Chains A and B, each alone.
Chain A
């Protein structure tokens, strides 16, 4: 049942030009960044050859590209998630789901997985670029895997936050703006953390960027993974609560 809703959500994205254009634009920008980074590496390569524990191609090319991709996806994700629930409300199609023999939990998780499936397609296309380097050189596959895992978890978190924002309103644009605001705030919240004042540790811990950065460096820390999983869980549960509130008397 969850699968049916997820599949419908995934296909619905491709019925409008939105998903296609997002895939195209993201691919183009990241391909440009990738090439630029590759150029830098070509310049540095002769000098790096002389140093003993020099950073390899994975550190110089792959990690910065994945890091930049995260920022670009932060801008793009709200556009994908904005209509997932608000549109159902607006077109009054929600009652089709509500009067079918499915629970609210199944509806919300189905919707969430639909978006995640789209993000995985996006991610798969991005991963092809670093993987293309395998033709000419050796990559630190462990580091690449850890970076991709970080990006997957990050996108999962973007999707959960966007889903929740979409459940709050009937207007897709309002959902997009507010989820963008929330994500950006959580991204930069550790800027205050650097000041070293009291409570800055908490702010630093909340930052999505911090947890992503360590994965990008190839440091697999279960705290970081737990952070993202908790983040996703929290927002999915909040969404279920929010959707159920419409039904219940208050």
Chain B
């Protein structure tokens, strides 16, 4: 077992009665990684996260946290975990300081370290001035921050956040994203979200889960290559005949769109340079030459829509 991996999940299954919510999910998380967990509602994101944090026991499979088996030795494995569930587990009748002190004790922090740990967590989550306020009186965004503060309080090596930016305003979302990137440098982070740009902005790795199964798992760099769609959009002032375009090197298909726009499908190397040269020598009057990129959203929809015709029609429309 490689001890540098913080989370090692192996063939996780979870059944609710006959319904299989998570099926054969395996993955690794190493230090310095921020893993974005994507999936439609009910795909098994939360169930997976609950299994990683010991809130649910898997029907089959193993989870290791920092090399310690979560099922055989839950207390020492959980010491390395910080978890923010979908609904932050807050006691509304406590003040922020009281609540965080209680959390620190639950995580068995030494008494003399509690104060410092709370000060640090509050400062990281922008709660310095809210320490004496009742959690029940805080706004949703601040409650979410208290939830995050609770998850990072004991400086765990793995932080698991289930939709941490829900209900926050755009400024808070930016702050939380910065915080997550910062935390990602020294911890391992798993983050689930519906907001796709958030993944591209904060994560180093992406996983898409659909109907309980992982359908995509790659690093952000790997994702970039998936985003290139091998299409170019070209606009000419004096459009040439379609045949002339088809003769260009590497171009395999030409489609005419509205307003003199032409969509070229190529195979192999990007032929943009050749097209530009050709356009200049033949006087086509090149006005635009743009590589068409797929968005993460399109990949997400393709992977998660089981109905292929629906996925295709969305792609055509795009």
* A residues in contact with B53, CB < 8 Å: 95, 98-99
Known: A100-B107, A101-B74, A247-B54; 14 extra A-B contacts, CB below 8 A, are: A4-B102, A4-B105, A4-B106, A12-B93, A15-B93, A91-B92, A93-B89, A94-B89, A96-B89, A96-B103, A101-B76, A101-B79, A101-B106, A101-B107
> In the complex where A4-B102, A99-B55, A100-B106 touch, is A93 in contact with B90 (Cβ < 8 A)?
yes
Which residues of chain B in 255-269 are interfacial with respect to chain A, using CB atoms and an 8 Å cutoff?
Answer: none
Say yes or no for A134: interface residue by CB 8 A criterion.
Answer: no
Task: Give 13 pairs: A residue, B residue, CB < 8 Å, sorted on A.
Answer: A4-B105, A5-B106, A12-B93, A15-B93, A16-B93, A92-B87, A99-B78, A99-B83, A100-B106, A100-B107, A101-B79, A101-B108, A250-B17
Which residues of chain B in 58-85 are interfacial with respect to chain A, using CB atoms and an 8 Å cutoff?
Answer: 58-59, 74-76, 78-79, 81, 83, 85
Among candidates A98, A101, A103, residue contacting B55 with C-beta atoms closer than 8 Å: A98
Q: In the docked arrangement, what's the CA distance between A96 and B107, Å?
A: 10
Q: In the docked arrangement, what's the CA distance between A59 and B233, Å?
A: 100
Q: In the docked arrangement, what's the CA distance between A102 and B55, Å?
A: 12
Q: In the docked arrangement, what's the CA distance between A142 and B108, Å?
A: 43
Among candidates A1, A5, A96, A247, residue contacting B56 with C-beta atoms closer than 8 Å: A247
Report the nearest B residue to A247, measured CB to CB. B57
Closest Cβ–Cβ distance, residue B80 to chain A (whole Å): 9
Among candidates A15, A101, A248, residue contacting B57 with C-beta atoms closer than 8 Å: A248
Report the nearest A residue to B102, measured CB to CB. A8
Report the nearest B residue to A102, measured CB to CB. B106
* B residues in contact with A36, CB < 8 Å: none
Interface centre among B17, B74, B89, B93 (most CB of A within 10 A): B89
Q: In the docked arrangement, what's the CA distance between A104 and B103, Å?
A: 16
* B residues in contact with A96, CB < 8 Å: 89, 103, 106, 150
> In the complex where A92-B85, A249-B15 touch, is A97 in contact with B106 (Cβ < 8 A)?
yes
Main secondary structure of the interface of B (DSSP, over half): loop
Q: In the docked arrangement, what's the CA distance between A99 and B54, Å?
A: 6
Contact B59 A249 (CB under 8 A): yes
> In the complex where A8-B102, A92-B85, A249-B57 touch, is A100 in contact with B93 (Cβ < 8 A)?
no
Q: In the docked arrangement, what's the CA distance between A97 and B91, Å?
A: 12
Contact B93 A92 (CB under 8 A): no
* A residues in contact with B108, CB < 8 Å: 1, 101
Say yes or no for B23: interface residue by CB 8 A criterion.
Answer: no
Interface size class of B (residues with CB under 8 A): 20 to 34
Contact B89 A95 (CB under 8 A): yes
**Chain B 93-107: CB-based contact to A (< 8 A → 1; otherwise 0):** 110000000110111
Among candidates A1, A103, A249, A250, residue contacting B74 with C-beta atoms closer than 8 Å: A103
Q: In the docked arrangement, what's the CA distance between A16 and B92, Å?
A: 12
Which residues of chain A in 73-116 are interfacial with respect to chain B, using CB atoms and an 8 Å cutoff?
Answer: 91-103
Contact B55 A249 (CB under 8 A): no
Which residues of chain A in 109-145 are interfacial with respect to chain B, using CB atoms and an 8 Å cutoff?
Answer: none
* A residues in contact with B14, CB < 8 Å: 249
> In the complex where A8-B102, A248-B57, A249-B14 touch, is A100 in contact with B89 (Cβ < 8 A)?
no
Contact B78 A101 (CB under 8 A): yes
* B residues in contact with A103, CB < 8 Å: 74-75
Closest Cβ–Cβ distance, residue A245 to chain B (whole Å): 10
Contact A100 B78 (CB under 8 A): yes
Across the A-B interface, the 8 shortest Cβ-Cβ residue pairs: A96-B89, A100-B106, A249-B59, A101-B78, A93-B89, A99-B83, A4-B105, A101-B75
Q: In the docked arrangement, what's the CA distance between A29 and B259, Å?
A: 89
* A residues in contact with B55, CB < 8 Å: 95, 98-99, 247
Closest Cβ–Cβ distance, residue A95 to chain B (whole Å): 5
* B residues in contact with A97, CB < 8 Å: 106
Contact B85 A95 (CB under 8 A): yes
Contact B93 A98 (CB under 8 A): no
Report the nearest B residue to A250, measured CB to CB. B17
Contact B56 A92 (CB under 8 A): no
> In the complex where A4-B106, A249-B15 touch, is A99 in contact with B81 (Cβ < 8 A)?
yes
Report the nearest A residue to B87, measured CB to CB. A92
* B residues in contact with A93, CB < 8 Å: 89-91
* B residues in contact with A249, CB < 8 Å: 14-15, 56-59
* B residues in contact with A248, CB < 8 Å: 57
Closest Cβ–Cβ distance, residue B242 to chain A (whole Å): 60
